[in-house]
């Protein structure tokens, strides 16, 4: 079946091509992983920055509302208590709906990022 040298050279070339193909596929997987990790990290950094800025804004707005409420309530301590209660209520609502508002979108984002085949 493999009597002549030409078929042996062809098998050797085929082996080299298969080896090169496997190396290229490995490089492609690495590049794809780097791309997806870059998207993930940049998204996390943006979300972190937005959360920090929103917390700062909430801090300043809460102080503003305290002084606005003081005129209606008559006491600075009572207005601090009202704003503190509202913030705790918001924290409770966010905690209650955390699966719908935080976990499900995060899982969907990660599944779309890592499981969708972008080569099609």
Query: Which pLDDT score is estimated for 18?
Result: 94
Per residue, the 3-state secondary structure of 18-50, as one string, reads HHHHHHHHHHHHHHHHHHHHHHHHHHHHHHHHH
Query: Which pLDDT score is estimated for 2?
Result: 52
Specify the 3-state DSSP secondary structure of 52: helix
Rounded CA gap, 91 and 47, in Å? 18
Number of domains in the chain: 1
C-alpha to C-alpha distances, 66 to 34, 59, 90, 93, nearest whole angstrom: 48, 11, 16, 21
Task: Find, among 118, 117, 111, 109, the residue nearest to 42 by Cα.
Answer: 109
The residue whose two tokens read 């969907």 is 108
Residue 120 in any domain: the answer is: no
Residue 36 in any domain: the answer is: yes
Query: Which pLDDT score is estimated for 10?
Result: 85
Tokens of 83: 């704003």
Residue 71 in any domain: the answer is: yes
Residue 35: CA atoms inside 13 Å, Cβ hemisphere, count? 9
Residue 67 in any domain: the answer is: yes
- The pTM of the full predicted model, rounded to 2 decimals, is 0.69
Q: Residue 71 sits in which domain range?
A: 5-115
Query: Which pLDDT score is estimated for 113?
Result: 87
pLDDT block averages, 10 residues each, the chain of length 120: 66 90 94 92 95 95 94 94 95 94 90 75
Query: 51-73 as b/e, with b when 16 or more CB fall inside 10 Å?
Result: eeeeeeeeeeeeeeebeebbeee
Specify the 3-state DSSP secondary structure of 39: helix
Query: Which pLDDT score is estimated for 98?
Result: 93
Query: Which pLDDT score is estimated for 49?
Result: 97
Query: Which pLDDT score is estimated for 4?
Result: 62
């Amino acid at each position: 079946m493999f009597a002549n040298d030409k078929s042996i050279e062809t098998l050797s070339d085929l082996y080299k091509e298969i080896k090169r193909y496997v190396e290229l596929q490995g490089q492609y997987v690495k590049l794809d992983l780097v791309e997806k990790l870059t998207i993930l990290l940049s998204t996390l950094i943006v979300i972190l920055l937005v959360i920090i800025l929103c917390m700062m804004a909430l801090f300043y707005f809460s102080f503003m509302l305290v002084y606005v409420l003081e005129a209606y309530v008559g006491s600075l301590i009572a207005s601090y208590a009202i704003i503190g209660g509202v913030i705790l209520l918001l924290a409770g609502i966010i905690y209650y709906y955390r699966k719908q508002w935080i976990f499900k979108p995060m899982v969907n984002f990660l599944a779309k990022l890592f499981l969708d085949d972008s080569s099609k």
